[in-house]
Amino acid sequence: MIKKALAIAFNSLKVTFRDKGNLIWLIIMPIVWTTLLGTMSTTGGGDEKIPVGFLNSDRGIYGEVFEEILRKEESIKIV
């Protein structure tokens, strides 16, 4: 059973990579897109804190503890 599944998978890969265009779209283009999107998403040195909205409506102990944890976190800014 495993041999048949591996044979089918190998045959499918062989047919897929027979065309060089598929190689470009399956391997090279994801690397290009990842690089482009990764460089576009950098802020360039602005405010690095992530704004997080927080509303503690019940003012219970768990909400206060969670709010304190959020305020101590250096990577976020409560708005």
What pLDDT is stored for residue 39 in this prediction?
82
Q: Are residues 27 and 62 located together in one domain of the fold? A: no
Do 32 and 55 belong to one domain? no
Please count the CA atoms within 13 angstroms of the CA of 62 that sit on its side-chain side. 1
Query: Phi/psi of residue 22, each to 5°?
Result: -65, -35
Q: Is the confidence at residue 7, as pLDDT, over 90?
A: yes
Give backbone dihedrals phi and psi of 78, rounded to 5 degrees, phi first: -80, 125
- Do 50 and 75 lie in one domain? The reply is yes
Assign 18 a pLDDT band (cuts: 50, 70, 90).
confident
* Highest mean pLDDT, choosing among 8-12, 14-18, 49-53: 8-12
Domain identity same for 30 and 59: no
My answer on whether 49 and 37 are in the same domain is no
- Per the prediction, the chain carries an average pLDDT of 86
Range of the domain at 31: 1-42
Same domain, 37 and 11: yes
Mean pLDDT of 14-30: 86
Same domain? For 53 and 74 the reply is yes
Q: How far, rounded to the nearest angstrom, does the alpha carbon of residue 6 sit from its chain's CA centroid?
A: 31
DSSP 18-56: TSHHHHIIIIIHHHHHHHHHHHHT--SSS--PEEE----
Specify the pLDDT at position 4: 95
How many structural domains are present in the chain? Answer: 2
Q: What angle do CA 27, 34, 32 make, to 5 degrees?
A: 55
